[in-house]
Chains A and B, each alone.
Chain A
Amino acid sequence: MAEQIKTFKQLEDIKKAYLAAQEKYDYIVYVCGGAGCVAAKCDVIRKTLIDETQKAGIGDTVSVVQTGCMGTCAVGPVMLVTPGNIFYTELTADKVKKIVTGHLAGGKVVEEYTYYDAALDKHVPKMDDIDFFKKQVKIALRNCGAMAYNDIAAYIARDGYQAACKALTELSPQKVVDEVMASGLRGRGGAGFPTGIKWQAAHDSKGDRKYMVCNADEGDPGAFMDRAILDGDPHSVVEGMLLGGYAIGADTGYIYIRAEYPVAVERIGDAIDQARAHGLLGKDIFGSGFDYDLEIRIGAGVYVCGEETALMASIEGNRGEPRQKPPLPFQKGLFGCPTNINNVETLANIPAIVKNGGKWYAQYGTEKSKGTKVFALAGDVVMTGIVEVPIGTPMREIIFNICGGVPDGKKFKAVQSGGPSGGVITDLDLDVPTDYQSLQQLGAIVGSGILIVMNEDTCMVDSARYFMEFIREESCGKCNACRLGTKRMLEILERIVDGEGEEGDVELLEELCEVVAETSLCGLGQTAPNAVMSTIRYFRDEYDEHIRDGICRAGVCFTQRDKKAYPQRLRGRVL
């Protein structure tokens, strides 16, 4: 039986022992095991590293650690060598062999394989010097890419479970809620509702049982920030859930995770097992008398199950369809009991907030939008991957200064912010602070934090069509407005990109947009028209050119359209 952790001192001891063990090594090599790097065969890199260090006789002095996502998916597989924080990218087995002999055995950085900054046209070996990293503030992603994702000791060594220990042994549930309230944290799943208010409501709600739910049904096309956290730092989600459960008075937490994330399911499952083995879940956690445990529920590939009422229906074993709100989950949630639902990224922030205090978190961000936000970048951008920045950081800073701008010398056209439910932002507005209020005024949203960058070769009508195709596919079919509204909007968009648009189509679209947004049952339908409305707002001339003149300035429409494809221009790129 594993050691039962009951005290702060035990956590400290585990941390000390872990760090001491690390110090014995000459080098620690962190190999990124995020989804992008897994796809780029990082397992080969890891195996080669182990084999080659053995061969070189330095197997005992070099530790190879597989981590979660480091964020630089575009240049994977990547690895970080400490001490020195040397960042190697686009690795192959051959390159690894040379790095072993040159750097790990020979003590000399192999600069040609280190990170290459295209804008500066030179290699930047040290992670701390790379713009992509140095301009980020990592709170939710604090452990992603920085430690072994599968070792509870590694998490504890990075102060993990200290917040939980402090809360359960020293703070009242109300005090925990107060810290979250003070942090100004807002839900990172998309709606941006203040987390503290939600927790307070669930805390105050009366019920024989209460439930805590983690929404890990990340489904926006191109979104992978929650997956990065689940894959790379599952214990932060477990700890966030534990803190939430304690704060609201739940005895059970469900982690609702989509079936398309098998790796995340496995890793969060392992983390739960480890936590339970150490007494961090189960009975009398930290000797506080608080009983709490977690269960995983796997979704069945339904986007709308990310909507909280549909998610609860799915957990209950019913058809995953939203229902009328109110009652809100805190009033009548899972199995009719008061329930609090938070998204993965939100929960990953919680341990840091409880440990360091709400005020500490509130120092980041803008006046009305506190803290940091993780963004996933996809499309026509040099560094597709994930970044975490203080809220309010202008879009231009994120896309151009951190992520390297648009590749291949092409011109930037727009960025779709917030996924299919969001809208486009054009060059004119790139300097607006990226916060909840400012983006809303532009007709876009922060949403879950997905940024799809589009260059001049993208047709905006086609991109609206693509997003509508997605929404139509994912509409649950319960309410008339969304079920038929999205279908008819898609058909109108399809005829426009097929060159069969008619005079009046844009007006018809606008009318449909208004009614679908006003009358749909849930957020999916209410935001379904956003991509269309936003492209009409900023690119009305492109619609008119398609309909009146038969011109697509991006040159992608009027051809044989692959109906299931991404926008023609974005097809084939990392999304």
Chain B
Amino acid sequence: MAEITINGLKATVPDDATILEAAKTVGIHIPTLCNMADVSSFGSCRICVVEVEGAKTLQVSCLTKVRDGMVVKTNTGKVRKARRVLYELLLSDHDQECLTCSRSGSCELQALGETLGVSETRFKGEHDSPPEDVSVAITRDMGKCILCRRCVAACNEIQNTGVLNAQNRGFDTVIAPAMEGKLGDASCVFCGQCTVVCPTGALRETDATKKVWEMLDSGKRTVVQVAPAIRVAIGEEFGMEPGSQVTGKLAAALKALGFDDVFDTNFAADLTIIEEGTEFLGRVKAALTGGEATLPMVTSCSPGWIKFIEHHYPDRLKHISTCKSPHMMMGALVKSFYAEKIGVKPEDMRVVSVMPCTAKKFEINRHEMMNNGVPNVDAVLTTRELGRMIREAGIDFCALPDAEFENPLGMSTGAADIFGVTGGVMEAALRTVFELVTGKELPFDKLHVTPIVGFEQVKEAAITIEDTLPAYAFLKGVTVKVAVTSGTAGATMLMDQLEKGESPYHFIEVMGCPGGCIMGGGQPRSKDPDVKQKRLKGLYTEDEGKVLRKSHENPYITKLYEEYLGEPNGHKAHELLHTHYTPRGMENRLADKEMVRKEVSPA
């Protein structure tokens, strides 16, 4: 431990603490900008400088480690002046379009100006404001970029996608894909983690609210569905705690916005378990009975992950489950099963998905995601965009009475809720598959497969099947090994293991964002250090609160197969609910250029 003096106060902190951390322990707030806990300590903005006795120059508190006996002053004339000048410099190279910026009010640069009491900008000079780079999922507006490099850390250190980095030098530096290319042409997986960490409006989801308002105003039958992770995060847009369960208010708000049908992607998550579970058992059976099958099978719910594997491991696509992601299944069903039921032509229907995800915006544009010439889903809103629409509509979210999702595509089991968190899809699949095979309930307390719950990068579990029902005798005595990871960095580890032929697993769950969908690229930007844990808890509570907690128990699913789909993995199911993938290679080298262009640039 080291004892240091900050503004005359004594602080005793661990030896490897920074001055910034030490200051916090004695109630001193040092303003920061580029620093972001768990993401980036880069020291680019210099805003957090402090005076350290004996040091030649001012020191950045976010990187300077404490030393026993250190004497620090955080609030001297010299420090205040330096911070103000540094702030003015940042503003001098920033589009000051605050009034029309999507981040106005939630902009960290704006907030910092207020903290520092800056009331003038004296440095006027060259400022480059290049045209926006608009892809279907993410918009880059480099005139607003302050080069804090949080996005570079998210893209390289956290996600290991290596798309965004500093290009050029000095004043000409710009954060961009290699050779200052466009995101759509690069190997960007559109995970959107960069948009979550960006302190300004430089990186954001490509807007879909305008398009959705038009749909709502058009008089066309407009159906909305919501992903599991939204219900524990949308409350944050209205000042609630992360993890607040607001499913009822969410359904009510969507109805109030004017959607004709308010469905739940959770229903399709239950359906996914049936389809994916059946596919998995089919593959395992083939493998164990001398047939041909590719194992491990890997989940396909996360479009960021799908794009990642298409770029980085294009030869491994046969490992991916052929199941569409849940909201695409839902879209396909709405425009077939439901359209027939209500007697509306699919082309006269619109499906909007509210997703915690920016990659879903890309996914709906994939050429594979069409049936009978119409796209399965017409627009994707992120959680943040939905928040904006609710505010714009003048809906008092917090005061809304609870409503329910509508059937026949609204009911779900607890297994569907946990799709939103890393490990959830695997747990949901195991709940159903184990029971299908053995006739017994999965032997875990509260049905939670504890080894794969939580936020470690790679988690694994092994379940030995001792007794089986007669139809699954081939599985008797088999130990099924599964692995779970979230974030493409973790996925890289598991895929490299696979490439080396050393993967011991039968089934792997991969979510593109670290923590799973609750931490998706479209989720509210939170300052709560415990946000992950709180959202996770919200989803598990939602699950545990339900009477039905296994997908195969969902009566509407049973009915759907009876009435419309026939058998799981059957002909109709394949046509509507399954898909195939496109080998892309790095920078889309393997892919059809025309197709890529259509998929990545907004119409």
Chain A positions within 8 Å of B, measured between CB atoms, are 302, 319, 321, 323-324, 326, 472-488, 491, 508, 511-512, 514-515, 517-521, 526
Contact = CB atoms under 8 A, between A and B. Distances in A.
7 contacts: A472-B170, A473-B170, A480-B47, A484-B89, A484-B171, A512-B85, A518-B82
B45 A515 contact: no
Interface in B358-415: none
A302 B49 contact: no
A323 B147 CA distance: 15
Nearest to B58: A518
Given A475-B171, A518-B82, A488 B125 contact: yes
Contact of A485 (B64, B89, B126, B173): B89
Interface in B41-100: 42-47, 49, 57-58, 60, 63-65, 78, 81-82, 85-86, 89-90, 92-93
Nearest to B51: A518
Interface residues of B, number: 36
Residue of B81, B146, B171 ringed by the most chain A CB atoms within 10 A: B171
A474 B64 CA distance: 25
B86 to A, nearest CB: 6
A484 B57 contact: no
Nearest to B93: A484
A517 B57 contact: yes
B43 A518 contact: no
Contacts of B44: 478-480, 521
Interface string B153-174: 0000000000001101111110
Contacts of B46: 479-481, 519-521
A478 to B, nearest CB: 6
A301 to B, nearest CB: 10
B122 interface: yes
A526 B59 CA distance: 12
Contacts of A479: 43-46
B123 interface: yes
A124 B49 CA distance: 59
Contacts of B172: 477
Contacts of B82: 514-515, 518-519
A485 B86 CA distance: 8
B59 to A, nearest CB: 9
A326 B63 CA distance: 9
Contacts of B65: 326
Contact of B170 (A486, A511, A514): A486
B20 to A, nearest CB: 13
B57 A519 contact: yes
A432 B356 CA distance: 69
A229 to B, nearest CB: 28
Contacts of A508: 122
A491 B43 CA distance: 25
A218 B578 CA distance: 61
B169 A476 contact: yes
A323 B60 CA distance: 12
Nearest to B85: A515
B33 to A, nearest CB: 9
A294 to B, nearest CB: 29
Contacts of A520: 46, 57
Contacts of B47: 480
Contacts of A483: 147, 170-171, 173
Contacts of A514: 81-82
B125 A491 contact: yes
A476 B42 CA distance: 14
Given A477-B166, A477-B169, A519-B60, 8 more contacts: A473-B170, A476-B173, A477-B168, A477-B171, A479-B43, A515-B85, A519-B49, A519-B82
Contacts of B42: 478
Contacts of A321: 166
Tell me what chain A mostly uses at the interface: helix, strand, loop, or mixed: helix
Given A472-B170, A484-B89, A319 B49 contact: no
A512 B92 CA distance: 13
Given A319-B165, A488-B92, A515 B86 contact: yes
Contacts of B171: 472, 475, 477, 483-484, 486-487
A311 to B, nearest CB: 15
A321 B47 CA distance: 19
Contacts of B63: 324
For the complex of A and B, 3 pairs with smallest distance between CB atoms = A477-B173, A475-B170, A484-B89
A472 B46 CA distance: 18
Nearest to A478: B44
A302 B169 contact: yes
Contacts of B64: 324
Contacts of B123: 484, 488, 512
B169 to A, nearest CB: 5
Given A302-B169, A515-B82, A518-B82, A477 B57 contact: no
A439 B81 CA distance: 28
Nearest to A475: B170
A391 B64 CA distance: 35
A521 B43 contact: yes
Contacts of B170: 472-477, 482-483, 486-487
A488 B89 contact: yes
B89 A481 contact: yes
A520 B168 CA distance: 19
A475 B168 CA distance: 10
A526 B172 CA distance: 20
A487 B86 contact: no
B169 A475 contact: yes
A302 to B, nearest CB: 7
Given A472-B171, A519-B82, A477 B122 contact: no
A221 B64 CA distance: 33
Given A487-B125, A519-B46, A481 B86 contact: yes
Given A518-B49, A519-B82, A480 B60 contact: no
Contacts of B93: 484, 487
A526 B86 contact: no
Contacts of B173: 476-477, 483
Interface string B171-195: 1110000000000000000000000
A302 B168 CA distance: 11
A32 to B, nearest CB: 36
Contacts of B168: 477
Contacts of B125: 487-488, 491
Given A484-B89, A515-B82, A518-B78, A526 B57 contact: yes
Given A473-B170, A477-B172, A519-B49, A484 B165 contact: no
A319 B166 contact: yes
Interface in B11-62: 42-47, 49, 57-58, 60
Contacts of B86: 480-481, 515, 519
B153 to A, nearest CB: 13
Contacts of A484: 89-90, 92-93, 123, 171
Contacts of A518: 49, 57-58, 78, 82
Contacts of A491: 125-126
B535 to A, nearest CB: 33
A436 to B, nearest CB: 15
Contacts of B122: 508
Contacts of B43: 323-324, 479, 521
Contact of B81 (A324, A515, A517): A515
A508 B44 CA distance: 23
Nearest to A302: B169
A480 B92 contact: no
Contacts of A515: 81-82, 85-86
Nearest to B149: A478
Contact of A511 (B49, B85, B90): B85
Nearest to B41: A324
A521 B45 CA distance: 10
Contacts of B60: 324, 519, 521
Contacts of A473: 169-170
A529 B122 CA distance: 18
